Amino acid sequence: MALILSLETSTKVCSVCLSDKQTIVAKKQLFEANSHATHLTLFIQNLFNELPDLSMKDIDAVAVSSGPGSYTGLRIGVSVAKGICYALAKPLIAISSLECLAQAAIAHPDLQNIVDTEMLYCPMIDARRMEVYTALFDSAMNLKEKVSARIIDSSSYLNRLNKHTIVFFGDGSDKCRGTIEHSNAVFIKDLAPLASNMAGLAYKKYQNKQFEDLAYFEPFYLKNFVATVSKNKIF
């Protein structure tokens, strides 16, 4: 048994999951912006309340989304994960939010009829305006283009699209549909990085003892935090 509690807070979705090796034991998720601060710890508590034979002390590790994504969301997720690890003396596992998102897309039913053995997967997390946090994976989850903050225009990915199918997904891809227009571009709606998608990735790292240093681990923000000020503020 390897019980791993996973927390995903990199986008507007707040989700938690308890998995045994790669099997989902229980999960909770809410598709609502700015919900992490009020719901994350409540979800964890309710999850274990619904599993009378298990308690927080039974977990073997905590996995958390490491970014990129929402600055505030990542801070909340990592803070809660660290707190649990410190309190229970459990190891911390970090999972890329883009890798988590790609994991959700690879087995998507909308792609089953596409014949392309070298199809690529492009997760996109919204980073304001026409910029997205993105990377490129193949079907074996090998990284083909490193994680970056990228401004999307009509020439983006053109060289690769001329040779292969690229699947775009995530909340950042929604604003790119009218910009990336190519016969080999496929868009999947309504995919988000979820804690339940982290189970297999987290278990692999658990087996390999790829744990983070609790004292020094920080989320991968990719860009510096930019605070916004309301235009209606008079002082």
Judge residue 111's burial from the number of C-beta atoms within 10 Å of its C-beta, 0-12 exposed, 13-18 middle, 19 or more buried.
middle
Task: Tell whether 83 and 9 lie within a shared domain.
Answer: yes
Query: The tokens of 234 are what?
Result: 């008079």
Contact in structure between 75 and 66 (CB atoms under 8 Å): no
pLDDT value at position 227? 43
Task: Tell whether 82 and 144 lie within a shared domain.
Answer: no
Task: From first to last of the 235 residues of the chain, give the pLDDT tens digit.
Answer: 899 999 999 999 999 999 999 999 999 999 988 889 999 999 999 999 999 999 999 999 999 999 999 999 999 999 999 999 999 999 999 999 999 999 999 889 888 888 788 999 999 999 988 899 999 999 999 999 999 999 999 999 999 999 999 999 999 999 999 999 999 999 999 999 999 999 999 999 999 999 999 999 999 988 654 444 444 444 3
Q: Cα separation of 8 and 138, whole Å?
A: 23
CATH code for the domain in which residue 30 is found: 3.30.420.40
Nearest 5°: the CA angle 28, 71, 226 is 150
CATH code for the domain in which residue 124 is found: 3.30.420
Question: Does residue 67 sit within a domain?
Answer: yes
Task: Tell whether 63 and 12 lie within a shared domain.
Answer: yes
Question: Does residue 227 sit within a domain?
Answer: no
Task: Tell whether 20 and 64 lie within a shared domain.
Answer: yes
Task: Tell whether 180 and 203 lie within a shared domain.
Answer: no
For 72-97, give the DSSP string: HHHHHHHHHHHHHHHHHT--EEEEEH
Question: Does residue 228 sit within a domain?
Answer: no
Range of the domain at 87: 3-96+193-207
Question: Does residue 232 sit within a domain?
Answer: no
Question: Does residue 102 sit within a domain?
Answer: no
Task: Tell whether 129 and 52 lie within a shared domain.
Answer: no
- Look at the chain and report how many structural domains it folds into: 2
Task: Tell whether 86 and 7 lie within a shared domain.
Answer: yes
Question: Does residue 56 sit within a domain?
Answer: yes
Question: Does residue 226 sit within a domain?
Answer: no
pLDDT value at position 224? 57
Task: Tell whether 138 and 90 lie within a shared domain.
Answer: no
pLDDT value at position 230? 43
Question: Does residue 160 sit within a domain?
Answer: yes
**Residues 6+ away with beta carbon under 8 Å from 142:** none
Task: Tell whether 81 and 138 lie within a shared domain.
Answer: no
Task: Tell whether 13 and 91 lie within a shared domain.
Answer: yes
Task: Tell whether 168 and 201 lie within a shared domain.
Answer: no
Task: Tell whether 87 and 158 lie within a shared domain.
Answer: no
Write down the pTM of the prediction: 0.91
